Amino acid sequence: NAGVTQTPKFRVLKTGQSMTLLCAQDMNHEYMYWYRQDPGMGLRLIHYSVGEGTTAKGEVPDGYNVSRLKKQNFLLGLESAAPSQTSVYFCASKTTGNTEAFFGQGTRLTVV
Amino acid sequence: AQKVTQAQTEISVVEKEDVTLDCVYETRDTTYYLFWYKQPPSGELVFLIRRNSFDEQNEISGRYSWNFQKSTSSFNFTITASQVVDSAVYFCALSGSIYNFNKFYFGSGTKLNVKP
């Protein structure tokens, strides 16, 4: 019973490099979210998706892009990484309606 | 606008003490949901409780209890007889109406240290 799986768990990037974080869920959830967690700031929403083929901006979308080509996957891309993007990234998914969200284990990204 | 405030950045208690974590929220939605999540040192986020805006009954689950008061826009979390395993960061979160696509707005978290 995998739930929400994030790949990779850790990554170190050099400034200007690009990368993609993968989120996969096996619960057939419609909604998926990408958050970043920074000390003292809680979790802030980067982008979200309400269904396959749809994406929308959250609170802090600048510097990130996303895609939801398949219902079970939600990709977060950094085209040109900056030190300000050093953070822990969490993916979450949920069903429609006001249910709780299920979170992945997080990806710790460091940009040097 | 949706906003969640957890004014307590860090709390330290000795094992077996009771502790209350505060959560104050702001929303213009008439229908909304409140949540508490626990983040232990291992880093994952663990769902604890969901409460809808129409249900102000307090809830108790073992040593955990929650007090929801719409009049003060608060949803406080109390741990009775705290244990070392309760040490974690606790997040309060708000989810708006379906028109807001159920986005979650998190507070900044309260770090609870329970010392033996």
Please indicate whether, in this complex, the C-beta atoms of A98 and B9 are within 8 angstroms of each other.
no
Beta-carbon separation of A42 and B109 below 8 A:
yes
pLDDT for the residue numbered A96: 83
Partner-chain residue, chosen from A43, A50, A103, that has the shortest CB–CB distance to B101: A50
Q: How would you write the pLDDT of chain B (116 residues) with one tens digit per residue?
A: 789 999 999 999 999 999 999 999 999 888 889 999 999 999 999 999 999 888 888 888 899 999 999 999 999 999 999 999 999 999 999 987 666 667 889 999 999 999 99
Cβ distance of B107 and A42 shorter than 8 Å: yes
Determine, for residues B102 and A92 on separate chains, whether the beta-carbon distance falls below 8 Å: no
What confidence score (pLDDT) does residue B2 get? 86
- Give CA A66 to chain center in angstroms: 8
Beta-sheet strands, E only, within chain A: 4-7, 10-13, 19-25, 31-37, 43-49, 56-57, 64-67, 73-78, 87-94, 102-103, 107-111
Chain B's closest residue to A38, CA to CA, is B108
Per-residue pLDDT tens for A67-96?
999 999 999 999 999 999 999 999 999 998
Chain B residue with the nearest C-alpha to that of A58 = B103
Segment A30-55, tens digit of pLDDT = 999 999 999 888 899 999 999 999 99
Phi, psi of B71 (to 5 degrees): -60, -30
**A80: distance to nearest CA of chain B, Å?**
26
CA distances from residue B63 to B50, B51, B91 in whole angstroms, order as listed: 17, 18, 18
Residue numbers in A near B35 (CB within 8 A) = 100
Q: Can you tell me the distance from the alpha carbon of B39 to that of B49, in angstroms, rounded to the nearest whole number?
A: 14
Average the pLDDT over A15-20 and give the result. 97
The predicted structure's pLDDT at residue B40 = 95
pLDDT at residue A41, as a whole number: 84
B residues 12..51 contacting A (CB < 8 A): 31-33, 35, 37, 43-45, 47, 50
Q: Do A102 and B104 count as a contact with CB atoms less than 8 A apart?
A: no
